[in-house]
C-alpha cells in the first residue's frame, strides 16, 4: 500500500514539473527556463504599439498577452509612446519606418515582415503587413521565434504564402460521426448551433491561423443536402463569425442532387435553366448571411455520389454551372478528380487522368480541380498523380490526407510531412527538368491566379484534438507545406518538437530522426516495393492481401498485387495497362524497365517473378521479406528512442505514446506475418533466416475481424 502511494506521489510531482498541455497543440507558451534568453527577451519586448482596433486586432492583442504571460511571465504593456515592438499595417506605419522594411507592397495580401531595427538611441521590432490577416500571421511567427529561442536582434523576415487557398477538408457528418476519423466525434455540434459557441471553435481557428490555414470545409465530401437549408445556413454563419477574425473562410460540400432532395425540382441537370437558377438563388442566400463564404467542394460521380454524368453531362458542365452561381460573390468551386467508372475498370490508376485530361482549359476561372496526391487512394506510398503537369491550362489543387486512413488510423506514429514532401518534390518533367509537383500547384509553371492545397483533417473531440499525440504534427506540417510547399520535412519536425515539447537538443535531435524515419517504417511493414491497397476491406485497418469478391474488383487487394505463381505486382507498362503512358517521356523511359525503376515503385509498375534479381543481388522474394522485417525493426527502434525521452515529456503523453507504440509494434508484426504467409503460397519459397518463426498460420490472420473499427459509419446507420 505504501509503495502504491509513493508511486502515485511521484507521478503527481512529476506531472507538476511539466506544463505541456496536449490541448494547446504546438502553441505551448511555457515559461522560458534559460535565464539569459528570458531577460534578453524581456528587455526587447517590454512595450508594444498595436495599430488595430478591429476584431483581428483584439485577437492579436489576446495572443500576445497569452504568449508573453506564458513565455516571459509578464503582462505586456500596450503603450504608443515608447514602444520597442510596433505592430501595424503598412498604411498606418510611419513613412520613416516603412523605408527600413523589406518591400512588401508588391507581395500578396497575406504577406508580412518582421524586422529588427537598431540605431544609436534605441531598437525596435517592426511587424507589418498590408492586411490585418497578414499582420496576424506575422505576430504568430514572431511568437514562434521566441518559442524556438531565436535571437530577436537578428530578425529580418519577409514571408508570404505561395498557395492562395489553404484548406482543411473535414469529412464530418451532420450526426457528428467522422468518416475516416480517429479522434472521436466531430467538433461541430450542429444541434446546439447557432446558440452555443464552444471554446473549441475559437481554439480551432487560433491553431489554424498560427500555421496559415485560411479556409475550412466543414462537411463530408459524401455530402448531405440538409446543410444547404436555411436552418443550417444560420448555424454556418455562427461558425463563420467565429473564424473571420482569424482570417478563415468557411466552405461547404455541395450535394449535386440537392435541388431534388430539397423537394424543389425534379432534376439536377446542370444545363437545365431551373437548376442553374436554383443554385444561383442558393448562393445568394448563403452569401447574404455570410458575405465571405468561400464556396463549394464537390464530389460528383464517384463512389455512388450523384453528378452531371447522371444526365449525360460532363464534369465541366457541372463545375461551371456551380462556378457561375458563386462567381458574383468571388466564390470558388473545388471539383474533386477522384472518380472511377461504375464499369469494371482496366486500371483504376488511369481513370481520373483519362476523364479529366480532355477538359483542360475548359473550366471557369474560379474552378479548382482537386486532385489526390496519387492515382489510387492515399496509400502509404504512391507515385504522384499523372494529372499533375497534364493540365497546364487548369488550376489543380493538391489533396493530401492528414487523417491516417491507410496508415494505421489512431494507433500508428507516422510523420506525414515526409510523405507530403516526397510528393511535392517529384519531378513531372512537363516543362523540362525541375517541373516539380510543388511548382505546378503553386502556379509557378503556368502563372495561375488561383492555387490551392487541401488536407483531409484528423481533428475530433479527443482531448488532444487528434487522438494520437503525434497526430498533431501532421496537422501542423500540412499547414506549413500549404503555406510553402518547398519547406523541408526536417525543418517542420524540428520546429514542431521544439514548440510542443522542449528545445533541448538531446530530445529534438533523436526525435527528429524518429519522425523522419516513421513513414518509411510504415511503408516497409505494410506495402513495400510499390505494393498498394492490400489493407483489410472497408475499415482499412490491418493487413488484407487476401481480400477478393467485393462488389467492385478495384475494391479488392488481389486486383492490385496480382500475386500468382509467376510473380507479383501490377504491370502498368506498355505490356500491361500502360498507365505509365500518362507520365512524361522521361519518366516513361526510366520506369518502363524494372532495372531503372526505383525500388520504391517497382511493383507499382511491374509484375515480376519471385526470383527476379534485385539491385541488391538478392531475389525479389528475399527483398519483400527483408522490407517487412525492417519495418518491424524500425518500430522497435522507435520504442527504444521514445523510452529515453521520458524526462522531457508530460507523463500522460509519454505513457499514451508508449502504449500506442506497443500497439504499433504488435500490428507491424501482424502485417509482416500475414502478408508473408499469404504471398508464400504463390512464391513457394522459404522465408529468409531473419524472419522469426511463425507461431500462427495464415488462417489465424484471416480470422481477425474488426467489426467496430473506428473511421467507418457507426452501427446505427
Active site residues: 303, 377, 405
What residues form DSSP beta bridges with 367? 333
Strands (E), 337-431: 367-372, 396-401
Phi-psi region of 319 (alpha: psi -120 to 50; beta: other; left: phi over 0): alpha
In sequence order, the 6+-apart residues with CB closer than 8 A to the CB of 687 are: 625, 676, 680
Q: What whole-number distance in Å separates Cα of residue 89 and Cα of residue 25?
A: 28
465 closest CA partner among 520, 410, 536: 410
Are the C-beta atoms of residues 77 and 88 closer than 8 Å to each other?
A: no
**Residue 75: count of CB within 10 angstroms of its CB:** 8
Integer Rg of the chain from CA: 26
3-state secondary structure of 215: strand
Are the C-beta atoms of residues 218 and 225 closer than 8 Å to each other?
A: no
Half-sphere exposure of 224 (CA within 13 A, CB side): 13
Burial of 397 (0-12, 13-18, 19+ CB in 10 A): buried
Are the C-beta atoms of residues 164 and 451 closer than 8 Å to each other?
A: yes
Strands (E), 317-475: 332-336, 367-372, 396-401, 452-456
524 closest CA partner among 408, 609, 410, 617: 408
Are the C-beta atoms of residues 631 and 521 closer than 8 Å to each other?
A: yes
Cα 386 → chain centroid: 20
Q: What whole-number distance in Å separates Cα of residue 289 and Cα of residue 237?
A: 6
Are the C-beta atoms of residues 252 and 289 closer than 8 Å to each other?
A: no
Q: Which helix (H) or strand (E) holds 159?
A: strand 156-159
Cα 133 → chain centroid: 22
Q: What whole-number distance in Å separates Cα of residue 605 and Cα of residue 383?
A: 10
Are the C-beta atoms of residues 38 and 32 closer than 8 Å to each other?
A: yes
Q: At what angle do helices 505-526 and 651-683 cross, to 10 degrees?
A: 30
Q: What whole-number distance in Å separates Cα of residue 594 and Cα of residue 604?
A: 11
Order of strands across the sheet with 123-129? 77-78, 47-50, 85-89, 123-129, 112-118, 156-159
490 closest CA partner among 471, 472, 508, 503: 508
SS (H, E, C) 161-201: CCCCEEEEECCECCCCCECCCCCCCCCCCCCCCCCCCCHHH
140 closest CA partner among 27, 47, 43, 244: 27
Amino acid at each position: 500500500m505504501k509503495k502504491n502511494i509513493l508511486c502515485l506521489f511521484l507521478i503527481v510531482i512529476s506531472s507538476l514539473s511539466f506544463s505541456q498541455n496536449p490541448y494547446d497543440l504546438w502553441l505551448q507558451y511555457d515559461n522560458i527556463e534559460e535565464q539569459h534568453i528570458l531577460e534578453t527577451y524581456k528587455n526587447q519586448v517590454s512595450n508594444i504599439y498595436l495599430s488595430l482596433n478591429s476584431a483581428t486586432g483584439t485577437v492579436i492583442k489576446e495572443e500576445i498577452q497569452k504568449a508573453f504571460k506564458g513565455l516571459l511571465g509578464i503582462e505586456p504593456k500596450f503603450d504608443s509612446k515608447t514602444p520597442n515592438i510596433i505592430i501595424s499595417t503598412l498604411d498606418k506605419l510611419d513613412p520613416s519606418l516603412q523605408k527600413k522594411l523589406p518591400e512588401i507592397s508588391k507581395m500578396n495580401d497575406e504577406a508580412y515582415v518582421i524586422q529588427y531595427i537598431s540605431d544609436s538611441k534605441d531598437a525596435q521590432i517592426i511587424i507589418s503587413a498590408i492586411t490585418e490577416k497578414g499582420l496576424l500571421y506575422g505576430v504568430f511567427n514572431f511568437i514562434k521565434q521566441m518559442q524556438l529561442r531565436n535571437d530577436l536582434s537578428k530578425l529580418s523576415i519577409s514571408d508570404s504564402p505561395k498557395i492562395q487557398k489553404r484548406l482543411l477538408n473535414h469529412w464530418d457528418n451532420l450526426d457528428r460521426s467522422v468518416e475516416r476519423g480517429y479522434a472521436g466525434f466531430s467538433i461541430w455540434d450542429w444541434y446546439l448551433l447557432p446558440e452555443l459557441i464552444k471554446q473549441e471553435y475559437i481554439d480551432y481557428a487560433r491553431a489554424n491561423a498560427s500555421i496559415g490555414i485560411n479556409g475550412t470545409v466543414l462537411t463530408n465530401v459524401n455530402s448531405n443536402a440538409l446543410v444547404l437549408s436555411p436552418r443550417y445556413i444560420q448555424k454556418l454563419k455562427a461558425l463563420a463569425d467565429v473564424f473571420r477574425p482569424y482570417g478563415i473562410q468557411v466552405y461547404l460540400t455541395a450535394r449535386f442532387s440537392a435541388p431534388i432532395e430539397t423537394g424543389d425540382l425534379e432534376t439536377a441537370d446542370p444545363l437545365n435553366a431551373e437548376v442553374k437558377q436554383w443554385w444561383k438563388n442558393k448562393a445568394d442566400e448563403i452569401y447574404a448571411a455570410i458575405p465571405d463564404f468561400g464556396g463549394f467542394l464537390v464530389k460528383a460521380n464517384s463512389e455512388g455520389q450523384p453528378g452531371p454524368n447522371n444526365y449525360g453531362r460532363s464534369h465541366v458542365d457541372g463545375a461551371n454551372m456551380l462556378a457561375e452561381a458563386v462567381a458574383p460573390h468571388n466564390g470558388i468551386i473545388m471539383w474533386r478528380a477522384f472518380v472511377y467508372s461504375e464499369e469494371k475498370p482496366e486500371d483504376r490508376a488511369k481513370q481520373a487522368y483519362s476523364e479529366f485530361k480532355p477538359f483542360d482549359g475548359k473550366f471557369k476561372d474560379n474552378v479548382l480541380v482537386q486532385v489526390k496526391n496519387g492515382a489510387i487512394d492515399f496509400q502509404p506510398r504512391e507515385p504522384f498523380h499523372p494529372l499533375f503537369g497534364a493540365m497546364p491550362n487548369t488550376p489543380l489543387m493538391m489533396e493530401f490526407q492528414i487523417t491516417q486512413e491507410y496508415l494505421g488510423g489512431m494507433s500508428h506514429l507516422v510523420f506525414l510531412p515526409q510523405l507530403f514532401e516526397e510528393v511535392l518534390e517529384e519531378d513531372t518533367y512537363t516543362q523540362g527538368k525541375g517541373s516539380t509537383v510543388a511548382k505546378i500547384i503553386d502556379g509557378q509553371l503556368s502563372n495561375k491566379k488561383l492555387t490551392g492545397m487541401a488536407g483531409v483533417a484528423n481533428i475530433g473531440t479527443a482531448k488532444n484534438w487528434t487522438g494520437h499525440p503525434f497526430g498533431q504534427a501532421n496537422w501542423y506540417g500540412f499547414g506549413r507545406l500549404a503555406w510553402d510547399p518547398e519547406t523541408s520535412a526536417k525543418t517542420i519536425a524540428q520546429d514542431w518538437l521544439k514548440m510542443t515539447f522542449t528545445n533541448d537538443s538531446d530530445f529534438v535531435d533523436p526525435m527528429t530522426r524518429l519522425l523522419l524515419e516513421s513513414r518509411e517504417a510504415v511503408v516497409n511493414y505494410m506495402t513495400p516495393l510499390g505494393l498498394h491497397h492490400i489493407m483489410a476491406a472497408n475499415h482499412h485497418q490491418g493487413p488484407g492481401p487476401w481480400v477478393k469478391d467485393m462488389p467492385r474488383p478495384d475494391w479488392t487487394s488481389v486486383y492490385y498485387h496480382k500475386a500468382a505463381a509467376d510473380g507479383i505486382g501490377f504491370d502498368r507498362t506498355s505490356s500491361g495497362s500502360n498507365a505509365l503512358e500518362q507520365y512524361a517521356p522521361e519518366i516513361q523511359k526510366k520506369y518502363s524497365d524494372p532495372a531503372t525503376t526505383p525500388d520504391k515503385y517497382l511493383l507499382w509498375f511491374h509484375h515480376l517473378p519471385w526470383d527476379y534479381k534485385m539491385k541488391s543481388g538478392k531475389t525479389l522474394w528475399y527483398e519483400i521479406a527483408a522490407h517487412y522485417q525492417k519495418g518491424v525493426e524500425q518500430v522497435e527502434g522507435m520504442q527504444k528512442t521514445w523510452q529515453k525521452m521520458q524526462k522531457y515529456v508530460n507523463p500522460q503523453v509519454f505513457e499514451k505514446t508508449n502504449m500506442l507504440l506497443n500497439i504499433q509494434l504488435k500490428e507491424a508484426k501482424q502485417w509482416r506475418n500475414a502478408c508473408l504467409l499469404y504471398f508464400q503460397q504463390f512464391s513457394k519459397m522459404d522465408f529468409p533466416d531473419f524472419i522469426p518463426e511463425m507461431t500462427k498460420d495464415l488462417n489465424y490472420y484471416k480470422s481477425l475481424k474488426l467489426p467496430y473499427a473506428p473511421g467507418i459509419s457507426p452501427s446505427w446507420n
